[in-house]
Amino acid sequence: MSRAAVQIVPAGTLVWGMQLPVAAQSVNFAAPWEAAAGPAELLRVAQACDRNGFFYLAVSDHVAVPRASAATMSTTWYDCVATLGYLAAATARVRLLSYVWVAPYRHPLVTAKAFATLDALSGGRVILGTGAGHLEAEFETLGVPFRGRGRRLDEAIDAIVAAWAEEYPSHRGEHWAFAELGQRPRPLQRPRPPIWVGGSTPAALRRAAERGDGWLPQGPPAMGMKEAIALVREHRARVRGDAPIEIGMNAPWFYVGKPSFDLGPNSRSGSGDELAAVLRDIKGLGVQHCGVRFRSRSCDELLEQIEAFAREVAPLVN
């Protein structure tokens, strides 16, 4: 695997993006209005983020949710690559992030081909966010062992990097081997699209440090963000020397202004400066990219919140 890190966040800044509504509807985060929404609302939100300077749009990845998990997760999980491809044609600047793609489910050449094509079609806007996955029944259904998924992910990342480096890559590992097989279209980004590694366990933090261009937390790490960031950076220095890594974090749910309804847990509301202060504190931890989401009761209200954030909060962050 190439040891060169790919950096895309402007130096010294904090950028932000949003996990899209509608495309994933777990009861843990979906607003009630999303149940009746569809592609039209998804497109409106994506274009609002594109117009208002968001750095990325994110879509999750589940193939089939077990019935036992559906009561909380739901079964609404739009296909990640198809959805990002649909949005790529309707946006111009915002980057397209998988948050996160479960690479152990697929042969690495399948992943490499899908995201290289998306990168070519979008004008070089892809970020491959990838993680080990957590639904054991989903692994079993797809014929992939749940145990050892971390090793599969490690190897998949190495193989994807190889496939993006050369038209005819060569790889031989524990789970996959290939040579003399070419792939086009090539990714537009050079030397390749960035890979941000997701997860909040100690193993995931080490994986991000060893193989990632960035880190995507999956919820707050048990050790706390400050300690987790220190672990990532210390391990990075041990295994990659001075190669940079772009650290991520998720902000609390925001509501710009004074809400007239209960925002629920882990939420912050207030003036532009009050919410910008939250993001400045996050930046002060050494974070480069931050996920933001907004409490809303309708698609129209969400669009108003995105615009208010861009107008009142964003100019005060950096």
pLDDT at 40: 98
- Calpha distance 161→2 (Å, rounded): 7
Which residues have CB under 8 Å from 218's CB, separation 6+? 100, 131, 198, 199, 200, 204
Q: How far apart are CA 87 and CA 73, in angstroms?
A: 24
CATH tag for 15-316 (out of 3.30.2350.10, 3.20.20.30, 3.40.190.10, 3.40.50.10310): 3.20.20.30
Closest CA relative to residue 229, chosen from 209, 251, 207: 209
In this predicted structure, what is the pLDDT of residue 219? 87
Q: What pLDDT score does 1 carry?
A: 45
Q: How far apart are CA 231 and CA 246, in angstroms?
A: 14
CB 244 within 8 A of CB 238: no
pLDDT given at position 115: 99
Running DSSP on this structure, what letter comes out for residue 32?
Answer: G
Which entry of 136, 301, 304, 312 is annotated as an active-site residue? 136
Nearest to 94 by CA among 57, 45, 40, 48: 57
Catalytic residue selected from 62, 171, 235, 289: 62
User: Is 136 in the active site?
Assistant: yes
Q: What is the mean pLDDT of each run of 10 residues along the chain (318 residues)?
A: 84 98 97 98 98 98 96 97 98 98 98 98 98 97 97 98 98 98 98 98 97 95 96 98 97 98 97 98 98 98 98 98
Q: How far apart are CA 49 and CA 58, in angstroms?
A: 11
Identify the CA nearest to 54 among candidates 108, 95, 90, 89. Answer: 95
Per the confidence metrics, is the pTM higher than 0.85?
A: yes
- pLDDT value at residue 166: 97
